[in-house]
Structure 1
Amino acid sequence: MNLGKTAVVLGGSVAGLCAAGALSPYFDQVLVLERDELPEEAEHRRGVPQSKHPHFLLNSGRRAITALFPGFEDDLVAAGGLHLMPSMDAAYLDREGWSARKRSAMTMVYSSRVLIERVLRDKVRALSNVDLRERVAVRGLATAAGAVTGVEIAAPGGEEHLDADFVVDAMGRGSPVANWLVAAGWPEPEVRTLDAKVTYTSRWYELPARRPASWWWQHLVLMPTQDRGEHPAEHEFLVNFFPIEGDRVIACMGSWGREMPRTAEDFVASARRTRTPLFAAAMDRCTPSSEVHLTRSTGNRWRRYDRWPSPPRGLAFVGDSICAFNPFYAQGISSASSSALLLREHLARARDLDASFGARFLAAQRDLLKVPWTLAMARDRGYECAEGTERLPGWQRRLLAAVSAPAFSLIVGAAREDDVVDEHFAKVFNLDESLGDMMRTPRVLAGLARYCVRSMLGRHRVPFGFDPQAEPPATDYSPPAVAG
Structure 2
Amino acid sequence: MRGKTAVVLGGSVAGLCAAGVLARHFDEVIVLERDQLPPDAEHRRGVPQSKHPHFLLNSGRRAIGEIFPGFEEALIAAGGMHLMPSMDAAYCENDGWAPRKSGSMTMVYSSRVLIERVLRDKVRELPTVEIREGVTVTGLRTTGGGTERGRVEGVEYRAGDDSGHLAADVVVDALGRGSSVADWLIKAGWPAPPEKTLDAKVTYTSRWYDLPPAGRRPESWWWKHLVITPSQDTGDHPEEHEFLSNFFPIEGDRAIVCMGAWGIRMPRKVDAFEKAVDRVRATAFGQATRACTPTSEVHLTRSTGNKWRRYDLLDRPPLGLVCIGDSICAFNPFYAQGMSSAARSALILAELLHGRATLDLTFFREFLARQKKSLDVPWMLAMARDQAYDFATGSEVAAPWRRRLAARLSWPVFNAINATSREDAYVERTFAQVFNLDKSLRDMATDPRFWFGIARYKVRQRLGRTVVPGGFDDQQDPPGTDFTDRTGTGRAGTAPSAESDLVHD
TM tier relative to shorter chain: over 0.9
Give 1:208's aligned residue: 212
Give 2:426's aligned residue: 420
Q: Write out per-residue CA displacement over residues 217-268 of structure 1, whole angstroms, 9 at most, x where no aligned residue.
A: 0000000011111110000100000000000000000000000001111001
Matches for 1:240-319 after TM superposition, within 5 Å: 240-319=246-325
Matches for 1:319-358 after TM superposition, within 5 Å: 319-358=325-364
Give 1:456's aligned residue: 462
The question of 1:119 aligning with 2:118 is answered: yes
Give 1:373's aligned residue: 379
Percent identical? 63
DSSP-derived class of the 1:100 partner:
coil
DSSP-derived class of the 1:8 partner:
strand
Q: Write out per-residue CA displacement over residues 94-147 of structure 1, whole angstroms, 9 at most, x where no aligned residue.
A: 111100000000000000000000000000000000000000000000011301
DSSP-derived class of the 2:382 partner:
helix
Give 1:169's aligned residue: 173
- Indicate conservation of the 8 Å contact 1:88/1:103, yes or no: yes
Q: How far off is 1:156 after superposition?
A: 2.7
Whole-angstrom CA distance in 2 between matches of 1:84 and 1:57:
12
Matches for 1:427-442 after TM superposition, within 5 Å: 427-442=433-448
Structure 2 unaligned segments of length 5 or more: list them: 145-149, 493-505
Give 1:12's aligned residue: 11
Considering only aligned residues, what root-mean-square deviation do their CA atoms show, in Å? 1.0
Partner AA of 1:53 in structure 2:
H
- Indicate conservation of the 8 Å contact 1:103/1:482, yes or no: no
Give 2:132's aligned residue: 133
Whole-angstrom CA distance in 2 between matches of 1:432 and 1:131:
33
DSSP-derived class of the 1:417 partner:
coil
Q: Write out per-residue CA displacement over residues 389-415 of structure 1, whole angstroms, 9 at most, x where no aligned residue.
A: 011122221111010111111111111
Partner AA of 2:162 in structure 1:
G
Whole-angstrom CA distance in 2 between matches of 1:186 and 1:424:
42
Q: Write out per-residue CA displacement over residues 35-75 of structure 1, whole angstroms, 9 at most, x where no aligned residue.
A: 00000000000000000000001100100001000000000
Give 1:405's aligned residue: 411
The question of 1:25 aligning with 2:24 is answered: yes
DSSP-derived class of the 2:257 partner:
strand
Whole-angstrom CA distance in 2 between matches of 1:208 and 1:149:
54
Q: How far off is 1:483 after superposition?
A: 5.3
Whole-angstrom CA distance in 2 between matches of 1:343 and 1:483:
37
Whole-angstrom CA distance in 2 between matches of 1:388 and 1:439:
25
Whole-angstrom CA distance in 1 between matches of 2:225 and 2:474:
16
Partner AA of 1:112 in structure 2:
S
Give 2:502's aligned residue: none
Give 2:39's aligned residue: 40
Matches for 1:77-96 after TM superposition, within 5 Å: 77-96=76-95
- TM-score, with normalisation over the residues of structure 2? 0.94
Partner AA of 1:301 in structure 2:
K
The question of 1:226 aligning with 2:232 is answered: yes
The question of 1:75 aligning with 2:85 is answered: no
> In terms of mean alpha carbon deviation, does 452-461 or 216-225 score higher?
452-461
Partner AA of 1:133 in structure 2:
R
DSSP-derived class of the 1:252 partner:
strand
Structure 1 unaligned segments of length 5 or more: list them: none
- Indicate conservation of the 8 Å contact 1:240/1:253, yes or no: yes
Whole-angstrom CA distance in 1 between matches of 2:457 and 2:307:
36
Whole-angstrom CA distance in 2 between matches of 1:458 and 1:467:
20
Partner AA of 2:101 in structure 1:
K
Partner AA of 1:236 in structure 2:
E
Give 1:107's aligned residue: 106
Give 1:66's aligned residue: 65
Question: Of residues 240, 245, 251 in structure 2, which corresponds to 1:239?
Answer: 245
Q: How far off is 1:84 after superposition?
A: 0.4
Q: How far off is 1:440 after superposition?
A: 1.8
- TM-score, with normalisation over the residues of structure 1? 0.99
Matches for 1:164-203 after TM superposition, within 5 Å: 164-203=168-207
Partner AA of 1:23 in structure 2:
L
Q: How far off is 1:76 after superposition?
A: 0.1
Over 6 Å off, 4+ runs: none
Give 1:150's aligned residue: 154
Whole-angstrom CA distance in 1 between matches of 2:489 and 2:102:
11
Partner AA of 1:177 in structure 2:
V
Q: How far off is 1:349 after superposition?
A: 3.7
The question of 1:482 aligning with 2:505 is answered: no
Whole-angstrom CA distance in 2 between matches of 1:482 and 1:439:
29
Q: How far off is 1:28 after superposition?
A: 0.3
DSSP-derived class of the 1:57 partner:
coil
Q: How far off is 1:473 after superposition?
A: 0.7
Q: How far off is 1:481 after superposition?
A: 4.2
Q: How far off is 1:289 after superposition?
A: 0.3
Partner AA of 1:140 in structure 2:
G
